[in-house]
Structure 1
Amino acid sequence: MGLRSHEQLVVCVGVMFLLTVCITAFFFLPSGGADLYFREENSVHVRDVLIREEIRRKEQDELRRKAEEANPIPIPKPEIGASDDAEGRRIFVKQMIKFAWDGYRKYAWGENELRPNSRSGHSSSIFGYGKTGATIIDAIDTLYLVGLKEEYKEARDWIADFDFKTSAKGDLSVFETNIRFTGGLLSAFALTGDKMFLKKAEDVATILLPAFETPSGIPNSLIDAQTGRSKTYSWASGKAILSEYGSIQLEFDYLSNLTGNPVFAQKADKIRDVLTAMEKPEGLYPIYITMDNPPRWGQHLFSMGAMADSWYEYLLKQWIATGKKDDRTKREYEEAIFAMEKRMLFKSEQSNLWYFAKMNGNRMEHSFEHLACFSGGMVVLHAMNEKNKTISDHYMTLGKEIGHTCHESYARSTTGIGPESFQFTSSVEAKTERRQDSYYILRPEVVETWFYLWRATKDEKYRQWAWDHVQNLEEYCKGTAGYSGIRNVYESSPEQDDVQQSFLFAELFKYLYLIFSEDNILPLDQWVFNTEAHPFRIRH
C-alpha cells in the first residue's frame, strides 16, 4: 500500500511538471508557431557558432599583433654613426624610406597616411574622409629616384587602378590636392615618361576646376569632388588665403604645357592677372583676400610663413620653370622680396640671427616659423639664377644667414630638432617658451634650405647638419612601423604624435637623399621643385 502511494505521488509530480512545461512553452513561443520556434532555435545555434568563430578570430589577431610587436618589420639597417661618407649616408636614408614605406604598406595601404605606433590608417581633414592614398602618390617619385623598384611598381599599379573622383569624399583642400596629387602625378610622369601618370594628373586637376568658378576667378579653398560644390573655410570668414590660391600656377601651367589643354593655365593666369592689378600695401601681399569682384585685401596681416609662404616661392619658380621667359613673374617676385626685406627682415640682439618677423598692420611679432625656413632655400635658388652678381651675392648671403638661424633653432633644442615656431626677444633667441609651438611634425623646410645651400656652396657643414637630423629622426621620431612627429622638442623623451605625414616621403626624405647625392641627380638647371618637392622639367 505504501509503495503504491509513493508511485502515485511520483506520477502526479511528473504530470504536473509536464503541464508546467507545456504552459510555459505556450506563453513563450513566438507568434509564428512551432516551426518558427525551431527555425529560430536553429538560428540561435548558428549565431552562437559565428560568435565563437569571431571570438577565436579576435584571439588569433591579438596573438598575431603581440607577435608583431615582439618582432617588428625586419628592415636591415646600419648602426647610427656607422656611415661616414656621402654614399653610406645616402644608403642609410634609402633604408629609412623603405622602413617607413613597408610600415605604410603593411598597416595602412590605400589610406592617406599611417599611424606608425597604432599601426592603422590616418587621414586629416585636408583629404576629406575618403581613402585616396595620399602617401602612395606623394611618395612615388621618391621611390623611383632612390631605386626602390618593387615598391615603385606596387605604387604605380595601385595608381593605375585608382579613381580619384569615386574615392574622394567630403570637402577636399584645393591647395593640398593640387600640390600633393596633381603635383605628385606630374612629377612621376616627368621622371618616367609613363603617360598613365599624366592622365591621372589631368583627372585630378579637372575635378578641382569648379572651385575656380567664382566672380573674380580666385578659387574657393574647399571642393566636394562628388558634387563640384566649393566654398571657403568657415574660420577664414569667407576669404581666400594667399599661399593657397597663389600656389596653383606651377602645376596648372605645366599640366597645360604637357597636355595641350589650355584651361588649366588660363585659370592660373586669371589669378595672376587679378593680383597684378591690385595695389599692394607698401609693396606687400596680405594673407587674406575677399571673394568679391573685384576682390579686396582682408586684414593687413603679412608673413613669410603659414598662409603666405609658397606664393613667393611660386613667383620665383614659375619664372625658372618657363626657362626664365616670364618677366612679369620675375619682376613681381623681386618687388615682393624687396618689400619684405625692407619692412620685415630683422637681426636678433644677442647673436645677430637673421629672420623675417610677422606683421599685423604696423605691429611686429618677432617670431619665425619652421615653415618660413624654406625662404633660405628660395633666395639661394634666386641667387643661383641671377645674372647680376651684386644681387646674386646679396641673396646668397641672405640664404646662408636664414639657413644658420634655422639651424640654431635645431641646435638649441633638447632633441636637436627645431620647433614649429620660435621667438626673438630680449630673453629668448631662436627658441620658444610657448608649449603650443614646441612640436615637430616631420617638416622639411630647414633641410630644404640646407639642400639648396649645399648645391650652391659645397660647404660640408650643410651635409653634416642634414646627417645630424637623420640621427635625431632615428632617435626621437622613429616609431614601431614608421616615423612620427613629436609633441615637444625640448623634452629628452618626447611623446610621439603617431602620424607619419605623407610629405615625409615627398619632401624630407627626398631632400635628405639628394643632399648626399651627386648634383647630376635632378640638376637644378633642368628641374624645378613644386612646394611639395615634386620635380618638374624646366622648359628651355
Structure 2
Amino acid sequence: MLVSPRIARILVISTFSFPIAFAGVVQLPSLVLPASAAAHRDAVEKIFTTSYAAYKKFAFGHDDLSPLSAGFSDGRNGWGATIVDSLSTMHIMGLDDLFAEAVNFSSKIDFSVSQTGDTVSVFETTIRYLGGLLSAYELSDNQFPALLQKAKEVADKMAFVWVGNHDVPYGFIDFSTNSPTISTSNIAEAGTLSLEWSTLTKHTINQTYSDLAVKSLRHIANLAAPLPGLAAQGIDPTSGNFVGGYVSWGGGSDSYFEYLIKYARLSNTDEALFADTWLTAVDSSIKFLLRNSTVGNHLYLADFDSSRKIRHVSSHLACFHGGNWLYGGRLLNNQTIIDYGLQLVDACWNTYASTATGIGPEGFAFISSDGNFTGGSAPSTSQIAFNAQHGFYITSSAYILRPEVLESNFYAYRVTGDTKYLDRAASAVDSFNKFLSTPNGFAGINNVNSASSSKIDDTESFWFAEVLKYLYLTFDDPKHISLDEWVFNTEAHPFKAPAPRLSYGTGTIRPGKPFSPKSGPPLPAVSPNPFIPQTTQPI
C-alpha cells in the first residue's frame, strides 16, 4: 500500500485496537543542495585533513592529539581512539589512503588489556571503538573482516560487565582481570549499547550480543519513572533500580533517550516498547519540561530534579534533542514533535549566534515565566545583563569541540531543506577556522564569548567522528548516507538500516507507573506546564 507523506501524517489504522500511525520518510524527498554547498563541504574536509595530519605527526597510535604542546594523551585506554573514531568519516569523505592506513592500524589493536592500566568505560568503548569498527565494516561493504574480528574481540571483553542474571551492566571493567567495577551507573552508560551490539549480532549471527544490550534498554524502559517515559538519570546495576529521581536530556541521560527510537528503527523490532517509550518521554517533556525564555521566546528543555523542581538549565550535550525529536517525529509522522524539535534546534543555535566567537558554550541557563531556579547560585549581574540581550546566560564558557548543536542542525536541514541551516553550518566552519585553528591542528577554547580566549590542549576523537562528519554531510549530496538508509550511533557512526517497517510502536502514550524514592518523604505532585500548549497526542 502506497501512502503519500501528507496522508501518512493524518492516517491512523487500528490493529487489535491499537492506533498505529504509518511510518514516515525522515529526509525531505528530492532535497537538492545549492551549488555553493560544494565549497563549504570542501572546507570541512580541509579542516579534517589538517587536523588529522597534526594527529599523525604528533600523536599517531595514541588516543588524542594535544595540539598546543605538540603531544598526545591516552584517555581512551591507548588503543588509538582517534584512528578508529575517524574511520567512518574518512570513508564518507573518500579519503581512501587515510582509510586504508586506519584499517591496517585497527586490525592490529590489542584489546586484551588497557594500554594505560586504567579501567575501561563500556559506554565510551562501545560508541567509539565498537561503533567505529562496525560502521567502517559496513560502509566498506564488509571488505575488511579484520574490523569485524576486532569488534568481536573488544565486545567479548566488555561482556563481563553483565553479572549473573542482572539486566543492567556495570559501567566500567578491568580488562586485565575481566572484573567489572561494582558501582552505580547512569542510563546513558547502561542504555547506549543496543545499536552497536545488535549490529555485531547481525554480522556474527551470535544473538547473545544483542540480547545483552537490549535487555538493559528494555529494563530501564520498564522501570517506574519520575515522569511517564522519563527515566531517572542514576541507576544501580546491582539492584536494577533508579538512584534518585533526576531527569534530564543532558549528559548522563541523553543517549538513552536517543537510542529508544533509533533502536526501534535499526532493528525493525516488533516490540512496541522502545518507540512507545520514546514517544511517552517526548510527550512528558512537552507537558512538563518545555519552557519559553522571557527574552526572545526561545524554547528550552529544562531538567527536573529529585525534589520535583524544574531546573532552568541546559547544555551543549543536551542540544542533540532537537535533531532527535525531528528524527523520531518524522519516523512517527507526528507534526507536533517536529514543530517543537525545530524550535529546540533554533534555541540551541542561538547559543552560537550570541557569542563573540559564534560558537556555543558547554553549559547555559535561562529565565522563564516560572523563574530561574538552577539548583545552584542565582545569576550574577553580568549573567542577567547577557540574558537581557540573548535570552540565556552562560554557566560554563568552554567549547571542547562538541558536535550536538551541529548534529541537530544537520537533521534540521535534511528534514526541512531550509537553507538557513546551511548558512548556520557555514558560519560554524568560519568560526572554527578563525578561533580554533592552531599551528598543530584545532583546539577547543576556554571562553566562547571572548575573541581572544585561551585554547584547550586536547583534540578529542569526537571532533573527527562527529563534528566534522555532521558538517560535511550537511553540505554533501543528501542521497549519500541518507537518514532513511542509515542510523547514526551517538558517536555519529552510521549503521546500515533495513527497509522501514509500516509503523513503529503503537503510537500511544504509555501510562506512568507510581514512582517514589527508596527513602525519604513522599514526593510532591507535579502539574503540567501551563505556559506550553498541551497538544501532545500523536498526529
Same fold (TM over 0.5): yes
- SS of equivalent to 2:86: helix
**What is the alpha-carbon distance in structure 1 between the residues aligned to residue 482 and residue 394 of structure 2?**
40
* Shift in Å, 1:269: 2.7
Pairing partner for 1:287 from 220, 226, 233: 233
For the residues of structure 2 that align with 1:272 and 1:443, how far apart are their CA atoms?
A: 25
Cα separation, 2, equivalents of 1:433 and 1:528:
32
The 8 Å contact of residues 189 and 252 in structure 2, kept in 1 or not, is answered as: yes
* Partner residue in 2 for 1:416: 358
Secondary structure of the corresponding residue to residue 238 of structure 2: coil
SS at match of 2:455: coil
| Counterparts of residues 144-155 of structure 1 (less than 5 Å) | 144-155=91-102
Superposition pairs for residues 258-277 of structure 1, below 5 Å?
258-277=203-222
- Tell me what 2:149 maps to: 199
Q: Which residue does the alignment assign to 2:15?
A: none
Which sections of structure 2, spanning at least 5 residues, go unmatched?
A: 1-33, 369-383, 500-539
For residues 62-461 of structure 1, the aligned pairs below 5 Å read 85-124=36-75, 127=76, 130-168=77-115, 169-192=117-140, 193=142, 194-213=144-163, 216-232=166-182, 238-283=183-228, 284-293=230-239, 295-323=240-268, 325-360=270-305, 361-387=307-333, 391=334, 393-425=335-367, 427=384, 428=387, 429-434=390-395, 437-461=396-420
After TM superposition, list the pairs within 5 Å mapping 1:515-534 onto structure 2.
Answer: 515-534=474-493
Deviations 1:184-228 (A, max 9, x none): 001001101122211111111111011111552311111111111
Residues 526/84 of structure 1: CA separation in 2 closer, same or farther (3 Å cut): closer
Question: 2:173 aligns to what SS in structure 1?
Answer: strand
Q: Which has the higher helix share?
A: 1
Q: Count residues in correspondence.
A: 442
Aligned-partner SS, 2:65: strand
RCO comparison, higher one (Cα < 8 Å, 6+): 2
* CA–CA separation in structure 2 for the residues paired with 1:162 and 1:273: 32
Name the CA distance, whole Å, in 2 between partners of 1:461 and 1:213: 49
What is the TM-score of this pair, normalised by structure 2?
Answer: 0.79
CA–CA separation in structure 2 for the residues paired with 1:304 and 1:214: 30
1:325, distance to aligned residue in structure 2 (A): 4.1
User: Could you list the runs of 5+ residues in structure 1 that have no partner in the other structure?
Assistant: 1-82, 233-237
Residue 447 of structure 1 deviates from its aligned partner by: 0.4
Q: Assess, with a 3 A threshold, how the Cα gap between structure 1 residues 325 and 513 changes in structure 2: closer, same or farther.
A: farther
* Secondary structure class of the residue paired with 2:498: coil
The answer to whether the 8 Å contact 2:254/2:318 transfers is: yes
1:8-40 superposed Cα distances (whole Å, 9 cap, x missing partner) = xxxxxxxxxxxxxxxxxxxxxxxxxxxxxxxxx
CA contact (8 A) 2:187 2:220 kept: no
d(CA) in 2 for partners of 1:519 and 1:325? 29
Which deviations, in whole Å up to 9, do the C-alpha atoms of 1:250-274 show, x marking residues without a partner? 1111111221011111111321342
Q: How many Å separate the matches in 1 of 2:339 and 2:195?
A: 27
Instruction: State the alpha-carbon separation in 2 of the partners of residues 327 and 461 from structure 1.
Output: 36
**1:236-290: CA deviation from partner (whole Å, max 9, x where unpaired):** xx32101110101111111112210111111113213422442122212110112
CA distance in 2, matches of 1:166, 1:285: 34
Seen in structure 2, the aligned counterparts of structure 1 residues 199 and 348 have a Cα distance that, compared at 3 Å, is same
The structural deviation recorded for 1:166 is 4.0
Contact preservation (8 Å) 1:214, 1:291: no
Distance 1:93 1:252 in 2: 31
What CA distance in whole angstroms lies between the structure 1 residues aligned with 2:319 and 2:270? 28
More off after superposition, 100-109 vs 154-163: 154-163
- The 1-side partners of 2:439 and 2:268 are apart by 45
SS in 2 for 1:150: helix
Say if 1:214 and 1:220, in contact at 8 Å, map to a contact too: no
1:445-487 deviations in Å (ceiling 9; x for gaps): 0000110111011111101100100010111111121111100
Q: What CA distance in whole angstroms lies between the structure 1 residues aligned with 2:108 and 2:184?
A: 37
CA distance in 2 between partners of 1:96 and 1:276 (Å): 40
Q: How big is the shift at 1:431?
A: 3.9
Q: Deviations over 1:363-400 (max 9, x none)?
A: 2211111111100000111122124xxx2x21221121
| Amino acid in the other structure paired with 2:126 | N
CA RMSD of aligned residues (A): 1.6
In structure 1, what residue type is equivalent to 2:323?
G
Whole-angstrom CA distance in 2 between matches of 1:249 and 1:375: 19
Note if contact 1:318-1:326 (Cα within 8 Å) is conserved in structure 2. Answer: no
Distance 2:394 2:88 in 1: 38
Q: Any idea what the Cα deviations from partners look like across 1:486-527, whole Å, max 9, x if unmatched?
A: 001111201101111100111000000000011111011110
Match of 2:504 in 1: none
Counterpart Cα distance in 2 of 1:326 and 1:525: 20
| Cα separation, 2, equivalents of 1:326 and 1:448 | 28
CA distance in 1, matches of 2:266, 2:59: 35
User: Aligned partners of 2:83 and 2:52: how far apart in 1?
Assistant: 9
One-letter amino acid of the structure 2 residue matched with residue 218 of structure 1: V
Which residue identity lines up with residue 396 of structure 1 in the other structure? I
> Following superposition of structure 1 onto structure 2, how do residues 22-37 of structure 1 map, counting pairs within 5 Å?
none
* Secondary structure at 1:270 match in 2: helix
CA contact (8 A) 2:122 2:172 kept: yes
CA contact (8 A) 2:296 2:391 kept: no
What residue identity is the alignment partner of 1:421?
G
Q: Which amino acid aligns with 2:59?
A: A
Which 4+ residue blocks in structure 1 deviate beyond 6 angstroms? none
> Residue deviations 1:132-177, cap 9 Å, x none?
1000000011111101111111111111222222454320111000
Contact 2:398–2:448 (8 Å) recurs in 1? yes
Distance 2:391 2:345 in 1: 12
